[in-house]
């Protein structure tokens, strides 16, 4: 069961990639129950049902001893808590994609813990997510399985001609946690005619961010991007200035495009990018500058420090440092090629759809 309400975000993109592969190769029959109707941009997904319209059918599978109920990103869902209490099942798996960062109240934490007790297994998308569940929610480590996402190589050909004009981009929801404001601040420090800054995505901070970029004619807002690769393959550099990022699927997709990445050294991002080898990581050092904005998801109380896996207070990137790193890569074609090539090799090996499928398939088999 998964919510597919908002286009192809990171979680949706990962799920759809896995689902299509599994429906072709798995020994198990896969049915998808979503909180919403199927959108055309998801492509061909077989056995797809709106759970509100097919609730009785869903309950039959919930009761069945021959079914595995696989909840995506719903470990903190109150409705799921009530559902499991009324209709208990022995074959429940939760997949935690990163919602844990948004939980703030004791009541919300209790829901996480209670749902976790009902699960046979909880799949986590990164070491950072695993540490968050252990340290913030006290979920037993032996109940958690780390499974990295997997994607099919899109085989994108990138042409590296000698260029005079460059495109630096960010692909993210326009929310404070994504650090888009830091990207714009860095762009405002680099008012160089031959560098265009492309912002792909929409969200509740769009108005504010456009005001922040109002005096810079080199910044372009492209709105919602339904196909990430079509956006990424146009760029010379991708920036991921996130305040919190459980893993960072866009960095994986950038790797598959052989695109160099500059990103925040926080949470699960270093599990994708190795600083100085497959990209540039910048440790956030500045206090959060957007606290006055009330939104969902909120700025988290804690993020994961990659070097120690301790939970620390979140911070944001220093725009001056980010601007310097962007300029460094703009001026160094060889370094861009090296980082892009190394990231491609790392991502293709670590985040293959075959490995993702095999890992999930083995968890299914272990349930019987």
Q: Would the CA dihedral through 300, 306, 307, 309 be positive or negative? A: positive
* Residue 4, in any domain of the structure: no
* Residue 272, in any domain of the structure: yes
- Higher local confidence (pLDDT), 163 or 251: 251
Question: How distant, in Å, are the alpha carbons of 73, 141, 222, 284, 337 from that of 251?
Answer: 20, 27, 19, 17, 16
* Residue 110, in any domain of the structure: yes
> Based on the domain organization, do 102 and 183 belong to the same domain?
no
- Higher local confidence (pLDDT), 35 or 136: 136
> Based on the domain organization, do 136 and 181 belong to the same domain?
no
> Based on the domain organization, do 212 and 324 belong to the same domain?
yes
Number of structural domains in the chain: 2
> Does position 1 have pLDDT exceeding 70, yes or no?
no
* Residue 281, in any domain of the structure: yes
State the pLDDT at residue 64.
Answer: 87
State the pLDDT at residue 2.
Answer: 54
Range of the domain at 54: 10-150+352-366
State the pLDDT at residue 269.
Answer: 98
> Based on the domain organization, do 59 and 192 belong to the same domain?
no
> Does position 296 have pLDDT exceeding 70, yes or no?
no
- CATH number, domain with residue 100: 3.40.50.2000
> Based on the domain organization, do 37 and 120 belong to the same domain?
yes
State the pLDDT at residue 159.
Answer: 63
* Residue 42, in any domain of the structure: yes
* Residue 76, in any domain of the structure: yes
CA 303: distance to chain centroid? Answer: 15
Kindly report, residue by residue over 41-85, the tens digit of the pLDDT. Answer: 666 788 888 888 999 999 988 888 889 999 998 999 999 999 988
The mean of the pLDDT values for the chain is 90
* Residue 273, in any domain of the structure: yes
Predicted TM-score (pTM) of this structure: 0.92
pLDDT band at 294 (very low <50, low <70, confident <90, very high): low
> Does position 367 have pLDDT exceeding 80, yes or no?
no
Q: Which helix (H) or strand (E) holds 242?
A: none
> Based on the domain organization, do 144 and 233 belong to the same domain?
no
Q: What phi and psi values does residue 303 have, to the nearest 5 degrees? A: -130, 170
* Residue 161, in any domain of the structure: no
| 209-213: average pLDDT | 92
State the pLDDT at residue 184.
Answer: 96
Surface-to-core class of residue 65, CB atoms within 10 Å of its CB (0-12 exposed, 13-18 middle, 19+ buried)? exposed
> Based on the domain organization, do 31 and 143 belong to the same domain?
yes
Share of the chain above pLDDT 90, in %: 67
> Based on the domain organization, do 177 and 138 belong to the same domain?
no
> Based on the domain organization, do 296 and 216 belong to the same domain?
yes
DSSP character for 275?
A: B
> Based on the domain organization, do 339 and 359 belong to the same domain?
no
| 143-165: average pLDDT | 84
Within the chain, residue ranges assigned H as helices are 10-25, 55-63, 78-86, 106-118, 127-137, 180-189, 206-212, 228-232, 249-256, 319-331, 333-350, 353-366
How far the first Cα of the chain sits from its last, in Å, is 20
State the pLDDT at residue 3.
Answer: 54
> Based on the domain organization, do 199 and 343 belong to the same domain?
yes
> Based on the domain organization, do 174 and 121 belong to the same domain?
no
């Amino acid at each position: 069961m998964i919510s597919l309400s908002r286009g192809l975000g990171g979680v949706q993109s990962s799920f759809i990639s896995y689902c299509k592969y599994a429906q072709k190769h798995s020994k198990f029959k896969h049915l998808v129950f979503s909180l919403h109707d199927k959108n055309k941009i998801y492509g061909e997904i077989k056995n797809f049902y709106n759970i509100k319209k097919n609730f009785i059918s869903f309950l039959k599978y919930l009761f069945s001893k021959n079914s595995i109920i696989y909840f995506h990103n719903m470990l903190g869902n109150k409705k799921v808590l009530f559902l499991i209490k009324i209709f208990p099942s022995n074959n429940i798996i939760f997949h935690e994609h990163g919602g844990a960062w948004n939980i703030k109240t004791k009541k919300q934490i209790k829901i996480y813990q209670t749902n976790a007790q009902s699960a046979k297994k909880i799949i986590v998308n990164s070491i950072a997510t695993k540490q968050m569940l252990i340290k913030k929610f006290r979920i037993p480590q032996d109940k958690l399985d780390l499974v990295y996402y997997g994607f099919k190589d899109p085989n994108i050909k990138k042409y590296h001609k000698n260029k005079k004009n460059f495109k630096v981009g960010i692909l993210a929801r326009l929310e404070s946690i994504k650090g888009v404001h830091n990207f714009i601040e860095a762009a405002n420090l680099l008012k160089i005619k031959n560098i265009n800054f492309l912002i792909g995505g929409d969200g509740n901070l769009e108005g504010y961010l456009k005001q922040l970029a109002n005096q810079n004619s080199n910044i372009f807002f492209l709105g919602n991007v339904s196909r990430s690769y079509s956006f990424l393959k146009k760029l010379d550099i991708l920036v991921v200035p996130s305040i919190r990022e459980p893993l960072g699927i866009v960095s994986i997709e950038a790797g598959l495009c052989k695109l160099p990445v500059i990103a925040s050294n926080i949470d699960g991002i270093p599990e994708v990018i190795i600083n100085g080898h497959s990209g540039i990581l910048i440790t956030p050092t500045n206090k959060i500058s957007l606290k006055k904005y009330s939104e969902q998801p909120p700025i988290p109380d804690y993020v994961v420090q990659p070097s120690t896996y301790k939970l620390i207070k979140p911070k944001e990137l220093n725009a001056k440092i980010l601007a310097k790193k962007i300029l460094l890569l703009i001026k160094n074609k060889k370094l861009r090629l090296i980082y892009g090539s190394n990231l491609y090799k790392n991502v293709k090996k670590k985040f293959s759809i075959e490995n993702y499928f095999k890992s999930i398939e083995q968890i299914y088999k272990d349930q019987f």
